[in-house]
Amino acid sequence: MLYIACMASRPLILVSPSIEKSGVEFHDLSASLSVKYDSAVLHAGGIPVTVPTTTDRVVLAEAVRRVEGVLLTGGDDINSDLYDPKLPRKIKKTVEQTPDGGARDLRELILIEEVFRQRKPLLAICRGHQLLNIAFGGQLVADIRQQVPGALNHQQLEKAFELVHEAALTPGSLLAKITGKRVLGVNSSHHQAVQVVAEPFTATAVSADGIVEAMELKPAAQKMPFLLSVQFHPERLTPRYAAHRAIFDSFVAACVRKSSKKS
């Protein structure tokens, strides 16, 4: 009975999956999610549940209502028409087309809208970080190598579990408080990035080449119980690095607080 009671106090976290063109079963369109996200949420004390693969606003609004927080994950490139319909053909060729015809983009934009409407804690990672910026009218760098001269190598997929460069943190920011750092080592597996930060947000971590590695709400817009978006992948670093583990600990703790207020 004690074990069941403890489990009941764990907050439910809605986690967005990628979509694969050919899954394991029957090789049809399938939801896909790295177990690293689930592991990070579980170790922080939450229970991950997967976002249903629908664009029905009523269903997604209900899904957000039933959980204590939302985690937007990495994955496919975002449709460039959402942030730059006039992107030059040479650069647009580097943007990978999603296998679901943009349904994931729409689904997660609806989730972001509901998260803000219902004021639920939000942690956005990599693709999620970029889509959050787009949702509020921000711009993206579609391909770092072509659009940012002298940029670091941000697409180091073979070192996904390693710290490959550093990001300077804004003193007093949520990320600086969570990690206890002024400079944070991060992994890097992306070829796109936030370019123009949308109005309600501020960049709170920046790499040496100027790439935005984290965003938070500006103090004047701070009406959310928790909001942090990061370009790197802390879920892959939690087993080895306490600072990255603290990101999930803080997020899930905010979800616990949200749950206690709801009850």
Confidence of residue 22 (pLDDT cuts 50, 70, 90): confident
Domains along the sequence of the chain with CATH: 2-262 (3.40.50.880)
Question: Distance between CA 237 and CA 212 in Å, rounded?
Answer: 19
- Kindly provide the residue ranges of all beta strands, DSSP E only, lying in 91-149, ordered along the sequence: 122-125, 140-141
pLDDT-wise least confident of 117-131, 151-165, 167-181, 247-261: 247-261
Check if the beta carbon of residue 120 is closer than 8 Å to that of residue 69: yes
The confidence score (pLDDT) of residue 5 equals 38
The confidence score (pLDDT) of residue 263 equals 55
pTM: 0.94
Which H helix or E strand runs over 230? strand 227-230
- What would the mean pLDDT of 219-227 be, rounded to a whole number? 89
Question: Distance between CA 64 and CA 224 in Å, rounded?
Answer: 14
Angle of helix 57-66 versus helix 103-118 axis, rounded to 10: 50
Confidence of residue 98 (pLDDT cuts 50, 70, 90): confident
Question: Distance between CA 97 and CA 79 in Å, rounded?
Answer: 7
Q: Mean pLDDT over all residues of the chain? A: 93
* Residue pLDDT, tens place only, 101-152: 899 999 999 999 999 999 999 999 999 999 999 999 999 999 999 999 999 9
The confidence score (pLDDT) of residue 167 equals 98
Q: Give percent of the chain with pLDDT exceeding 70.
A: 96
